[in-house]
Chains A and B, each alone.
Chain A
Amino acid sequence: MAITTMVGARIHRREDPRLVRGQGRYTDDFVRPHTVHMAVVRSPYAHARIRSIDVSAARRSPGVVAVLTAADFKPVIAGAMPVAPAFVPEKKQTPERFPIVEKEACFQGEPVAVVLAEDRYQAADAAQLVQVDWEPLAPVMDLEQAMRPGSPTAHEGAPDNIGWDLTFNADAEAAFAEAEVVVEQRIYQQRLAPTPMEPRAILAEWHSGDQTMTVWMSSQSPHFIRLFVGGALGIPESRFRVVAPDVGGGFGSKISPYPEDYLVPAAAKLLGRPVKWTETRTENLQNATHGRGQYYDLAIAGNRDGKLLGLKITQYLDIGAYVGTFGAFQACACLLPGAYVWKQVASRTVGVLTNKVPTDPYRGAGRPEATHLVERMVDLFAREIGMDPAEVRRKNFITEFPHTNPFGLVYDSGNYAGALDKALQIAGYEQFRREQEAARAQGRLLGVGLSTWIEICGFGPSAATAPATGGMALTESAQVRVFPTGSVTCYVGTHSHGQGHDTTFAQIVADALGVPYEQVEIRHGDTAEGPSFGYGTYGSRSLAVGGMALLTAAGRVRDKAKKIAAHVLEAAEEDVVFDQGQFYVKGSPERRKSIQEIAFAAYGAGLPEGVELGLEAVAYYDPSNFVWPFGAHICMVEVDRETGDVKLLRYVAVDDCGNVINPMIVEGQIHGGVAQGIAQALYEEVVYAEDGTLRTGTMLDYAVPTANEMPPMTLDRTVTPSPTNELGVKGIGEAGTIAASAAVINAVCDALAPLGIRHVDMPASPDRIWKLMQEAKA
């Protein structure tokens, strides 16, 4: 690109003034006349059979318009909810899921009836009056127990609880046979709730006159919803419009379709009135897909000189009662090799059904898990051979790119030692090690932890992803429209719900077309606008894929403008130069035409032959590879020897996402991501009681940390552009979360080393650490 005035600029997010003033428009803010409000009656049991449902009292309750159950929905909703067939050939069991329970509820919170009333209060009151005659069944809540022979099954009549059992690479025996040192460890990762600030919400309006459905909803991927829900309701995409307006965060939990996504529009169609449902916080904690919830048996092999040789993992995932639409993407094997060269890596993944809400992608989806595992195992190995963990990492980093990892994935570019060295220097690592030694002599427990993370993102090259998605390409689309006076509106198939696309995408287009940033409008989230399909936002894909679609469309517009400019300047096209929004003939920059003038000309009479009127273009971009961001995070902690409480002293993150469009937005993503990683390391955990009751149904019990609990953070970067795309960019939306839990837990384990404690599972709560201290003493 010739012009770089906006790309790279540290400018404030343009969406913020609107959002912080309360001028955002979220789904619940939308009001349609004659709306009916929906409340959902949910299973109080983790596993139970419905003998009968008596809705008569609810139906008589004031303001109630209708009470609907599976019997009412069956005729209008076709088929089961979708499951991306990630590993279809090997899949063992994918229990069918209809959006509302007909006979057997398989987790606490599954919908069994909906009440529709004139207002939300009446709907909630009547929901209490729906009488369900339940026959409780034995629930399967524990992952290990669920795999034992003779365990009750999460679904009646199922042969067992195995959802999938796949081996990616079976063999690492040679590496292990050759190794001087082998370290084994079992590691648990707790279930997490995504807790977006805005819970889910849906408003659906059916026009029987023209047979069109409009749905406003809080979603990361409105086009997918149109595809799935429109399909199930038998409404063609041309008459089904999904609008995801301002969305208050998703973190992965607003990608897949949910039962209510079908029930609300179906009810609107049945009743002929708009229907609205807004989730409560407790419903969100109970029913939005959870993340993680896994344990792993791991072994690492290497030599005493620090050389790593082999890694083995068996991953057990608590996938909940159904296989989440994109649940299989949590199988983290392919990223397990991390930033290191191995001789062999073997991996098996087992998905296990339990009577809990399904798990699905949650910020990082598979990559935080993998990073945590490999970074923990490398630390355990370093400790075993008595070498500094920074040294072990340096000795084993991949240094040549492109690099093909043991699972056949090709890392595009990197400079892993560069990021680590910079982070160590900023953190004052050597100095801290000396302080740590002095503190240990006084009985204080200081620790430092590293996480030299890498990740795969920018989903995805369609050649690689289509088999996992049932043929969906996972490309991205954009449309650029230049109006006659030169202002620009862009439509993108991604969706921004905290990522700041309105700002970064406008920066890219402003430079590409040489128009003022202020005159570039970015629109997304409305399936009635822009290209016919968009793939949504998740997996840190929006810039590397969506940004490239936008750049490609802008390039097409510029190429056409150049043709017109050549005509206006009476020159040959190849002699015309485009620079900062101006066209001129090579060598005579004083005779120039602005892009605004050319835009006006594009809609006027007298265009050259063969050039169509107008100045707009659509592009679909299919990347040639994934992109591979990386970095080095360092966390310093002190553990209270008496209480086990972890105090975060300092956090340093040096990240590399290639070229940076807007440093402030990158930093914001890392701050938030690190906070979520710290949340997993120390605070959050979804807990179910043995009988299947969710014990963390409010923010009192589900301990999301706040700004108060965050350490001082120092952020910096290295820049290693991606060769995969013209922008040279990689994703950064999930990096903080991917990196942080390992840095924190490595620091905690380092602090506890003098007590002989090797490993701490998450969340590393004071209670848990105190228990480990007691055991170590005994």
Chain B
Amino acid sequence: MIPAAFEYARATTVQEASELLRRYGEEAKVLAGGHSLIPLMRLRLAQPSALVDINPVRELDYVVLEDGRLRVGALTRHVEIQRNPTIRENLPLLAEVADEVGDNQVRNLGTIGGVIAHADSAGDYPTIAVMLDAEIVTNKRRFAARDFFQGLFTTPLEPDEVVCEVVFPVARGPHRYVKFRRRLFDWAIVAAGAQRLDDGSWRIGLTNCGPTAVRCLAVEQALAQGVSPEEAAEHASDGLEPSGDLRASPEYKKHLARVLTKRAILQAQ
């Protein structure tokens, strides 16, 4: 890897990270698992002036259940989300999603905070966060997930702002995340998540069908009205305007949104 030159500093607390970011200025970047940032630096598509390494920040690495909410620290790695008993019991959908992220190398290093801050339209956790009304907590503010993801790679984070945790509701009911991709370690071409809540209502979300994660209210409403999953899933592409890429045309993505939504609901358990 031959990136452009950068300064490097390690932070051990959130406060220290924030101070370092302020000191290095706007061109500085947080380094978490590095699995999105470093590929960009390798291509010199990102040339940050400084990296503030938050890997030593122990206070960001936790999973706790508190007041019926699941708080996941930003530095929690995919592999921990896959295995953590608290997550598996209280939000098994999240563990299932983590199982499907990248490959072992990615899962051993990549963090939930990194996925959230990076805001890639193909990121998997943003979909779960948006469909379940999770909250994103930084060292400065709290956001409803739907307000946090503003566009492709676009969030309201300020240069010295650090994502600290993601707060999910507990949901132990039937759920399924169906991810469609070519190779096992690929990002989703399209993915659909379905979660039934305790009150019997459904939450439905889509990955990579627009600049940000999508919550499918039309499908949720149809299901609430007692429509069959097959029929309800037909609404999954309502209002979608996915962009085409090498792997899928916009029409095909819309088609996948419907098919995968149907499968997610039918296969939820």
Is B252's CB under 8 angstroms from A706's CB? no
| B246 & A701 in contact (Cβ 8 Å cutoff) | yes
**Interface assignment of A657: CB less than 8 Å from any CB of chain B:** no
Complex contact A696–B246 (CB within 8 A): yes
Chain B neighbourhood of A125, CB < 8 A: 4-5
What separation, in Å, do the CA atoms of A701 and B246 have in the docked complex? 8
A642 contact set on B, CB distance < 8 A:
259
With A643-B256, A767-B249 already in contact, the answer to whether A706 and B183 are too (CB < 8 A) is yes
Q: Which listed residue (B44, B182, B255, B259) contacts A765, Cβ 8 A?
A: B182
Mark each residue of chain B from 225 to 259: 1 if its CB lies under 8 Å from any CB of chain A, else 0: 00000000000000000000011110010011001
Verify if B24 is at the interface (C-beta below 8 Å from A): no
Q: Which residue of A lies closest to B263 (CB)?
A: A642
**A23 CB within 8 Å of chain B:** no
Given contacts A120-B2, A125-B4, contact A683 B182 (CB under 8 A): yes
- Asked if A703 CB lies within 8 Å of chain B CBs, one says yes
Interface string of A122-135 (1 = CB under 8 A from B): 00110010000000
**Mask for A515-528, Cβ within 8 A of B = 1, else 0?**
00000000000000
Whether B153 is near chain A, meaning CB under 8 Å from some CB there, is no
CA of A696 to CA of B245, assembled, Å: 11
- B43 at the A interface (CB under 8 A): yes
- B157 at the binding interface (Cβ < 8 Å): no
Known: A125-B5, A767-B252. A643 touches B184 (CB 8 A): no
**A709 and B252 within 8 A (CB):** no
| A120 to B5 CA separation, bound complex (whole angstroms) | 12
Q: What residues on B are CB-neighbors of A695 within 8 Å?
A: 246
Give bound CA distance, A280 to B39, whole Å.
13
Cβ of B259: which chain A residues have Cβ within 8 Å of it?
A: 642-643
Question: In the assembled complex, which residues on chain B have CB atoms less than 8 Å from the CB atom of A687?
Answer: 246
Taken together as a complex, chains A and B put the C-alpha atoms of A771 and B247 apart, in Å, by: 13
- Closest-CB distance, A248 to chain B (whole angstroms): 18
Docked Cα-Cα span, A282 to B2, in Å, equals 12
Contacting pair A706 B5 (CB below 8 A):
no
- Residues of chain B lying within 8 A (CB to CB) of residue A701: 246
Q: Which residues of A contact B255 (CB under 8 A)?
A: 770
Interface residues on A, range: 20 to 34
How far is it, in angstroms, between the C-alpha of A92 and the C-alpha of B256 when the chains are bound?
Answer: 48
Least Cβ–Cβ distance between B207 and chain A, in angstroms: 15
**A708 within 8 Å of B (CB atoms):** yes
Q: Is the CB of B185 closer than 8 A to any CB of chain A?
A: yes
Which residues of the partner chain A approach B5 to less than 8 Å between Cβ atoms?
A: 121, 125
Given contacts A121-B2, A698-B43, A770-B252, contact A708 B182 (CB under 8 A): no
B184 and A765 within 8 A (CB): no
B55 CB to nearest A CB, Å: 23
Interface residues of B in 173-216 (CB under 8 A from A): 180, 182-187, 189
Distance of A767 Cα from B250 Cα, bound (Å): 10
Please measure, in the bound complex, the distance between the C-alpha atom of A709 and the C-alpha atom of B185, giving whole angstroms.
10
Closest Cβ–Cβ distance, residue B96 to chain A (whole Å): 18
Closest residue of chain B to A280, judged by CB? B2
The majority secondary structure among interface residues of chain A is loop
A643 to B190, CA, bound (A): 11
Residues of A close to B247: CB separation below 8 A: 703, 765, 767
Digitize B131-144: 1 where CB-to-A-CB distance is under 8 Å, 0 elsewhere. 00000000000000
B182 with A703: CB separation less than 8 A:
yes
Question: Is the pair B252, A771 in contact by a Cβ cutoff of 8 Å?
Answer: yes
Please indicate the chain A residues that have their CB under 8 angstroms from the CB of B189 in the complex. 766
A728 close to B (CB within 8 Å): no
Q: Which of A672-721 contact B (CB under 8 A)?
A: 683, 687, 695-696, 698, 700-701, 703, 705-706, 708-709
| Cβ of A704 to closest chain B Cβ, rounded Å | 8
Contact A706 B184 (CB under 8 A): yes
Interface flags, A277-319, vs B, CB<8A=1, else 0: 0001010000000000000000000000000000000000000
In the assembled complex, the Cα of A701 lies from the Cα of B245 at a distance in Å of 10
Point out the residues of chain B lying under 8 angstroms from A766, CB to CB: 180, 182, 189, 248, 252
* Shortest Cβ distance from B2 into A: residue: A124
Asked if B183 contacts A708 (CB within 8 A), the reply is yes
Instruction: Please measure, in the bound complex, the distance between the C-alpha atom of A765 and the C-alpha atom of B248, giving whole angstroms.
Output: 9
How far apart sit A709 and B184, CA to CA, in the bound complex (Å)? 7
Taken together as a complex, chains A and B put the C-alpha atoms of A683 and B185 apart, in Å, by 14
- Interchain CA distance A771-B252 in the complex, whole Å: 8
Q: State in angstroms the CA–CA spacing of A700 and B180 once bound together.
A: 15
Known: A767-B247, A767-B252. A683 touches B183 (CB 8 A): yes
Bound state CA distance, A615 and B225, in angstroms?
Answer: 91
Give the residues in chain B near A645, CB-CB below 8 Å: 180
Asked if A643 and B180 make an inter-chain contact with CB atoms under 8 angstroms apart, the answer reads yes
Distance (Å) between the CB of A778 and the closest chain B CB? Answer: 13
Give A280 to B186 CA distance when docked, in angstroms: 21
Q: With the chains together, A523 CA to B256 CA distance in Å?
A: 54
CA distance A721 to B182 in the complex (A): 40
Q: How far is the CB of B176 from chain A (nearest CB, A)?
A: 16
- A120: nearest chain-B partner, CB-CB: B2
CB-defined interface of A101-139 with B at 8 Å, one 1/0 digit per residue?
000000000000000000011001100100000000000
- Cβ contacts under 8 Å, A280 to chain B: 2
Per a CB cutoff under 8 Å, which of B39, B180, B183 touches A705? B183
Q: Is the CB of A767 within 8 A of B248?
A: yes
Among A698, A706, A770, the residue within 8 A (CB) of B185 is: A706
B115–chain A nearest beta-carbon distance, Å: 16
A695 to B255, CA, bound (A): 24
Chain B residue at minimum C-beta to C-beta distance from A709: B183
Bound-state Cα–Cα, A765 to B184, Å: 15
**Could you tell me the distance in whole angstroms from the C-beta of A125 to the nearest C-beta in chain B?**
6
Beyond A128-B44, A643-B259, A766-B180, list 13 extra A-B contacts (CB 8 Å).
Answer: A124-B4, A645-B180, A683-B182, A700-B187, A701-B246, A703-B183, A706-B184, A706-B185, A708-B184, A709-B184, A767-B247, A767-B249, A770-B255
Q: Give chain A's interface residues, CB within 8 Å of chain B.
A: 120-121, 124-125, 128, 280, 282, 642-643, 645, 683, 687, 695-696, 698, 700-701, 703, 705-706, 708-709, 765-767, 770-771
Can you name 19 A-B residue pairings with CB atoms under 8 Å?
A120-B2, A121-B5, A124-B2, A125-B4, A125-B5, A643-B180, A645-B180, A683-B183, A698-B43, A700-B39, A703-B182, A703-B183, A703-B186, A706-B184, A708-B183, A708-B184, A709-B184, A767-B252, A771-B249
